[in-house]
Structure 1
Amino acid sequence: MGKLDGKTAIVTGSSRGVGADVAKFVAAEGAAVVVNYRQKAPRANKVVAQITEAGGRAVAVGADLTTKEGVHALVSAAMENFGSLDLLVLNASGGMESGMAQDYALQLNRDAQINLLNAAMPLMKPGSRVVFVTSHQAHFIETVPTMDEYVPVAKSKRAGEDALRALIPNLADEDISLVVVSGDMIEGTVTATLLDRANPGAIEARRAEAGRLYTVAEFAAEIAKMATAEVESGHTEYVGGADYFK
């Protein structure tokens, strides 16, 4: 018996990296999983295959979360394929990609998070949980400076976190809890790679300051634990190196 048997989870941005591992971890605990991708269908299909081969249930859904159509498609997929929605892991983030609109970071990291939660909330059962994934660099951006290249992303993710926290009373009315998971730089993620490319030595410097950095799988495991952890709504779970920022 898994802790999430009979539950359905949406994990945004789960075709690769942290999100993909979160999807596999919650599936291993019994959840049926909606694996979300924006463009890379083969990657998402591979995650679904890995879950189903391990005896789990999953479906891949292409959805741009910055659009109403994408939000609707993702929420609808949970109900149409699995008949319920009990866990929403808000992992998708961005803002360092080239060729995107100037306000893309805010569209994805704040507006899309709120729009998806508002669409999901009426369908989520009492006792459901929302997990928002962020970074220490974003969570503490108002008090601790970060690299210039990451500032727009950090500020938009903090704006997203604040907007989600403002909905805690609404969530409480429906017996839904919100947990924030804040992590240090994670070895092997796209964001860390881009930051190190723009600011050579950034990963090595942060690793030296923190002692060590979590791997993708280690960070994903901590996020997955928060799906069922007995913590109060609004709790922030710090993963690695947070003392440097506090």
Structure 2
Amino acid sequence: MSNELTGKAALVTGGSRGIGAAVAKRLAAEGAAVALTYVRAEEQARTVVKEIEAAGGRAVAIRADLVEPEAATRAVEETVRQLGGIDVLVNNAGFLTYGPLDEVSVEELDRVLAVDVRSVFLAAQAAARHMGEGGRIISIGSCFNGRVPGANFVLQATAKTALVGLTKGLARELGPRGITATVVDPGPIDTDMNPADGDSAAFQRSLTALDRFGEAEDIAAAVAFLAGPGGRYVTGTALAVDGGYTA
């Protein structure tokens, strides 16, 4: 690795498994000290921390249920307290939600928007208070931002598309301070939430130009690029890492 993030402090929400864990480990490998949040998967979060430490890095795990309004702000402040600051915020926590429109309850709608949108806003608001020039706010979106392949994805598409508008607003608000805001839109990624051998895997593969799933490390590499010097002139936009899903 290049160690381009040496001396930086990063927070990755939902960092105990899947894409979040891969991002946390990649940022640490690039030299950053990393805080990662979890809700119930404490053992998995501790495992990620141990792997980072075993590789010579520094990491801490923070419990934060982002359904709670104050949790995102608290996670940022705890990151600052334990790591001495925050230079990179990766909003990864979210729900993979699908189902018919008439079966979406108000409670489900509120829960998804609380984590996928509200917590991103609040974490960015809190992090921006501590970030200086060169700060990065990176949110993990979805390929549904560019293409909704069929029915049953209205809630997922709504939540993830909202990140684009939020990110554009952050880019304009924070640009004068040298802070960038971007979205990474994954396509089908092989994780425990969406395995490459799952029931809908063949359909998902057929929607990509490469006819295969990506890996969590593919998303982590994109995040590392945006967090490092290569991303210094990229802001207010979404980067599709989707195997040609939106081609």
- The interval holding the TM-score normalised by the smaller chain is 0.7 to 0.9
Task: Kindly provide the amino acid, as one letter, of the partner of residue 116 in structure 2.
Answer: N
Gaps of 5+ in 2: 100-104
Say yes or no: does 1:159 pair with 2:159.
Answer: no
The answer to whether structure 1 residue 235 and structure 2 residue 237 are counterparts is yes
Contact 2:188–2:205 (8 Å) recurs in 1: no
Superposed, 1:49-88 pairs within 5 Å as 49-88=50-89
The Cα RMSD (Å) is 2.5
The offset of 1:41, in angstroms, is 0.7
The Cα of 1:39 is off from its aligned counterpart by 1.4
Distance 1:13 1:51, change over 3 A: same
Distance 2:197 2:47 in 1: 27
User: Structure 2 CA distance, aligned partners of 1:51 and 1:80?
Assistant: 19
- Structure 1 gaps, min length 5: none
- 1:186 is matched with 189
Q: CA deviation at 1:225?
A: 2.0
**2:107 corresponds to which letter in structure 1?**
A
How many residue pairs align between the two structures? 238
The CA deviation at 1:107 is 1.6
**3-state SS of 1:102 partner:** helix
Partner of 1:212: 212
Give the TM-score, by structure 2 length: 0.86
Q: Distance in 2 between matches of 1:14 and 1:133?
A: 12
**Paired residue for 1:119?**
126
Q: Which residue of 2 aligns with 1:133?
A: 140
* Partner SS for 2:214: coil
- 1:227-246: CA deviations, max 9, x gaps? 1123322233221334x525
Question: What SS does the corresponding residue of 2:165 show, helix, strand or coil?
Answer: helix
How far apart are the structure 1 equivalents of 2:148 and 2:13?
28
Q: Measure the CA separation in 2 of the matches of 1:30 and 1:178.
A: 21
| Cα 1:149–1:97 shift into 2, 3 Å | closer
Measured in 2, the distance between the counterparts of 1:43 and 1:179 equals 27
Aligned-pair CA distance for 1:40: 0.9
The equivalent of 1:226 in structure 2 is 226
The secondary structure found in structure 2 opposite 1:123 is coil
Q: Secondary structure at the residue paired with 1:56?
A: coil
Q: Is the 8 A contact 1:8 1:31 kept in 2?
A: yes
Structure 1 match to 2:102: none
Task: Give the whole-Å Cα distance in 2 for the aligned partners of 1:177 and 1:25.
Answer: 20
Q: Kindly, what percent of the aligned residue pairs are identical?
A: 30
- Establish whether residue 10 from structure 1 lines up as the match of residue 11 from structure 2: yes
Per-residue CA distance 1:120-153 (angstroms, 9 max, x = gap): 111112111111111212x11xxx3324333211
